[in-house]
Structure 1
Amino acid sequence: MTDFAALLQPDRGQTAHELTPVTEKGFDDWLKAQPATVRTLAAAARFKAKPGELLIVPTGDSWSGAFGAAKKDGPWSLAAITAKLPEGTYRIAGDGPGAGAFGWLLSHHRFDRYLAKPDPIAQRILLTPDVAQVAETVALAEATALVRDLVDTPAADMGPAELAAAAEAVAKKHGADIRITRGDDLTTGYPMIAAVGRAAIRERAPRLVELEWGNPAHPRLAIVGKGIVFDSGGLDIKPPSAMLAMKKDMGGAAHAIALAGLVMGARLPVRLHLLIPIAENAIAGDAFRPGDILKSRKGLSVEIGNTDAEGRLVLGDALTRAGEDKPALILDFATLTGAARVALGPDLPGLFANDDALAADLLAASEAVSDPMWRLPLWGDYADMLKSTVADINNAGEGGFAGATTAALFLQRFVPEGTPWAHLDTFAWRPSPKPGRPKGGEALGLRAAFAMLKTRFAAG
């Protein structure tokens, strides 16, 4: 894991290369104020202060620099220049790095576990005058890197045991209690989790991980994450092209584990209940079938319209368990539907909520920390698409319409009425790179959710 704490330090006047942000709009005025040598260097480098451009200016035995500032301060506003800088210590002239410190840190993170000779990463230390910024920015970078690493790990090395171990590591770090229900022990209490995972080999048997932390007198917060470690589609098998990235189908669990770590690290005054239903949707002689009718922990019978709609099944049992302890809030993350990606693309998690105030809080937090999401309708009339003639509900809507909404409506059936609940249908994946954001696993909605929880459950 990258040592982010070493890369962001309080500014106490240390020797450092100073970097001056210059806007495109203010470039001409800035240039006129520079000595002839700097104007010549800028002309030679064709520096116009476009966002991400960098100009190096020698100063005696050292050097300083100017860079094209982003149009507005945000988490990725420094990421483009970070990769261009050599190893050293830096300060940003003016007010300091602002929100861009987050992207500065993440620009140092690589998933290189499987590379024989990883490229060395220059260590660029950033100084900040905002001492209070350091701890939380480092924590957010660590949580984001954890999501990326868990998602990027191939399914052969990120099975049910390994994903459960990731939750156990977070529990141990923060002194939380953890309970794991495995294999055949799921059959009675969590029959849908058991059914989805029963075709996997015994070493990769399904499980439900539950972590609890905090004062029982505090409001109960349930965080749930879909942990399908690989999704073949089951007997409704996916085509090869759709299976290539299915190691990421545990991305919801990765978000939930990382968020739980942030909550505990910040010592929010909550009674945290983390639930990770884990299974591999494999194919074998005992795989669950289209047309099967499954029992659920809630008591509802579920007709299987499609074995590739398995994530909502494991979440259904986990949401039921979460609701049994009367939480003040339930928040779930899941790489649930392709329909959400068709509607919103890879960068925007789809937000569904049964509570307008909760949805508003999440959207406000999303805007405040530049971690975008978009609310989609939990349109009750579409529940008819999930009707079954032989069971209480079908797990897959007919006709292919409103796939993200019908999936959310399915989940809502397992949430206690009156309990505020939000569901984030997140991609957990970046299909093409951007500065500070390589192709692969990605945390989408994590920072917004944490910002919302900090506001909602403020200490004191």
Structure 2
Amino acid sequence: MSLTFAPPQDQSLPLHLVDKAGLAALVERLDPAQRAWVLASGFEAELGAVLMVPGHDGGHTLALAGQGTEAARARTRFGLARARAGLPGKVFHLVTDLAGEALNEAALGWLLAGYHFGRYKNKPAPEAQLVAPAGVDATRLEAIAAGEALTRDLINTPASDMGPDELEDAARKLAESFGAHVAVTTGEQLLTANFPMIHAVGRASTRAPRLIDIAWGEKGPRLTLVGKGVCFDTGGLNLKPGNSMGLMKKDMGGAATVLGLAQMIMTLGLDLQLRVLIPAVENSVAGDAMRPGDILTSRKTLTVEINNTDAEGRLVLADALACADEETPDLVISMATLTGAARVAVGPDLAPFYATSPEDAAAVKAAAGRVADPVWEMPFWTPYEARIEPGIADLDNAPAGGMAGSITAALFLKRFVTASPRYMHFDIYGWQPEAAPARPKGGVGQGARALLDALPEMLGL
């Protein structure tokens, strides 16, 4: 897995990025032998197409990577990433007119295309390498790629090897590498420390539930990230059918994403005080599992009627958010693979989010466009508040009817962030269902790059 740029070297081959409109002009600039080769090959500069062009000595002298048409590029992020797989294991340098955001996207896509999950099946084939293009911040792009790789690795690892204890180990390893402080509250300690809903969700598992708390940085604005760490979700007593349970190793995608974002922040040394809270649990079935109809009292003392044990993510997040809110940080952000309703609304590629601050929402949307990390703003729609208020408790964890499921879940979470001035919530999918450029099938981060790019504006860094 190669997620870094190659150092500059004299023997690197030129890799020309060429679209359909510019192909004829490029061919005219080649020497006669190269021109004849390109014309004979039938290369048409389709998006992601690759052509290696030989020289007089039989070796390669340059390569072409097709960029297709403007319409094709508008429909596909990371076009250069698609070309990387077709190139041999040599070192290349880009020859392109791309600049600014387009060049950054191409360079980042190249790095992300170097990811593969090799824990259980190695991929030893040599990979093409790229010298960092002039005009990009190579250090920043490599930090982003490394954070994304951490997120993908955590999500891709099956629950047999990524339970609450292993997720804690991963968080500790990350924190220790940056000198961050870690505190973990585990098992019955959750009750004495007043995290009753985290305990209730995870108590039926043989793997103890816990709250992971990471703190880094001593100056600057305070940012708290809260990530849903349900390492596997059977649905509890409201047991999921088999076809819905198959991907539940990814139900800790929110935790994986905030850890990846935290790694980016710490690697780049952003001037802020970072806190990361991860309620890590496994939602299992046993004699002491929570039941439909139970009423839980949360850390914030709000009572919650359990109308579906499969709506457990918002319960563990609620206690963690209440804990975050007690310190009144400048900004609280939660990330979770929370609702199927979000997938129905926007599909797997978009990350819907909610924000109490219109300025924060605008900053994230603008950043998402700059860094090819698509998001979609959703509303904290106040008229739906009544839907999360049952008759015999303060809140309902699974309102009947099924409509506006992502919005009602976000409204539920918002009830636990009352002192902090600004709150954002991301209802992500965390999974790439089909391979795409720079995104193999499997775990994927969503929203982290947009947030990283927007943080300076949101926090005045």
Deviation track 1:394-430 (CA, whole Å, cap 9, x = no partner) reads 1111211100000000000001255211111100000
CA distance in 2, matches of 1:370, 1:436: 11
Any conservation in 2 of the 1:269–1:457 contact (CA below 8 Å)?
no
1:196 equivalent in structure 2: 201
1:47 equivalent in structure 2: 43
Structure 2 stretches lacking a partner, 5+ long: none
Structure 1 stretches lacking a partner, 5+ long: none
CA distance in 2, matches of 1:235, 1:344: 29
1:241 equivalent in structure 2: 243
Any conservation in 1 of the 2:292–2:308 contact (CA below 8 Å)?
yes
Moved more, 432-441 or 314-323: 432-441
| C-alpha displacement of 1:75 | 6.5
CA distance in 1, matches of 2:250, 2:104: 31
Any conservation in 1 of the 2:237–2:309 contact (CA below 8 Å)?
yes
Any conservation in 1 of the 2:229–2:254 contact (CA below 8 Å)?
yes
CA distance in 2, matches of 1:94, 1:197: 53
Of 429, 433, 453, 2:455 maps to 453
CA distance in 2, matches of 1:248, 1:260: 19
Mapping 1:129-278, distance limit 5 Å: 129-130=133-134, 133-188=137-192, 189-201=194-206, 204-215=207-218, 217-278=219-280
Secondary structure at the counterpart of residue 26 of structure 1: helix
Amino acid at match of 1:4: L
CA distance in 2, matches of 1:435, 1:357: 32
Moved more, 124-133 or 365-374: 124-133
Of 97, 106, 113, 1:107 maps to 113
1:69 equivalent in structure 2: 67
Secondary structure at the counterpart of residue 282 of structure 2: strand
CA distance in 1, matches of 2:444, 2:204: 29
Secondary structure at the counterpart of residue 43 of structure 2: coil
Any conservation in 1 of the 2:79–2:437 contact (CA below 8 Å)?
no
1:17 paired with 2:13, answer yes
| C-alpha displacement of 1:458 | 5.4
Normalised TM-score (structure 2):
0.94
Q: How many residues align?
A: 450
Moved more, 34-43 or 377-386: 34-43
2:284 equivalent in structure 1: 282
Any conservation in 2 of the 1:108–1:121 contact (CA below 8 Å)?
no
CA distance in 2, matches of 1:131, 1:35: 28
Amino acid at match of 2:211: L
Amino acid at match of 2:199: A
| C-alpha displacement of 1:278 | 0.7
1:431 equivalent in structure 2: 433
CA distance in 2, matches of 1:263, 1:168: 16
2:382 equivalent in structure 1: 380
Amino acid at match of 2:119: R
Deviation track 1:154-181 (CA, whole Å, cap 9, x = no partner) reads 1011000000111111100110000000
CA distance in 2, matches of 1:410, 1:30: 57
Any conservation in 2 of the 1:109–1:145 contact (CA below 8 Å)?
yes
Structure 1 residues 132 and 76: CA distance shift in structure 2, 3 A: closer
1:123 paired with 2:127, answer yes
2:325 equivalent in structure 1: 323
Secondary structure at the counterpart of residue 423 of structure 1: strand
Supply the RMSD in Å over aligned alpha carbons.
1.8
Deviation track 1:280-310 (CA, whole Å, cap 9, x = no partner) reads 0000010001100001000100000110000
Any conservation in 2 of the 1:361–1:452 contact (CA below 8 Å)?
yes
Mapping 1:305-384, distance limit 5 Å: 305-384=307-386
Secondary structure at the counterpart of residue 444 of structure 1: coil
Of 27, 31, 43, 2:27 maps to 31
| C-alpha displacement of 1:435 | 2.4
| C-alpha displacement of 1:19 | 1.1
CA distance in 1, matches of 2:221, 2:123: 46
| C-alpha displacement of 1:370 | 0.8
Amino acid at match of 2:81: A
Secondary structure at the counterpart of residue 374 of structure 2: coil
1:443 paired with 2:440, answer no
CA distance in 1, matches of 2:226, 2:416: 13
Amino acid at match of 2:109: G
Secondary structure at the counterpart of residue 4 of structure 1: coil
Structure 1 residues 129 and 400: CA distance shift in structure 2, 3 A: closer
Identity among equivalent positions (%) equals 44
CA distance in 1, matches of 2:290, 2:407: 24
| C-alpha displacement of 1:14 | 2.3
CA distance in 2, matches of 1:376, 1:30: 45
Any conservation in 2 of the 1:429–1:439 contact (CA below 8 Å)?
yes
CA distance in 1, matches of 2:128, 2:456: 30
Any conservation in 1 of the 2:34–2:55 contact (CA below 8 Å)?
no
Any conservation in 2 of the 1:234–1:307 contact (CA below 8 Å)?
yes
CA distance in 1, matches of 2:104, 2:230: 37
| C-alpha displacement of 1:37 | 3.0
Amino acid at match of 1:214: G
Of 46, 56, 63, 1:60 maps to 56
Secondary structure at the counterpart of residue 78 of structure 1: helix
1:4 equivalent in structure 2: 3
Secondary structure at the counterpart of residue 321 of structure 1: helix
1:392 equivalent in structure 2: 394
CA distance in 2, matches of 1:234, 1:129: 50
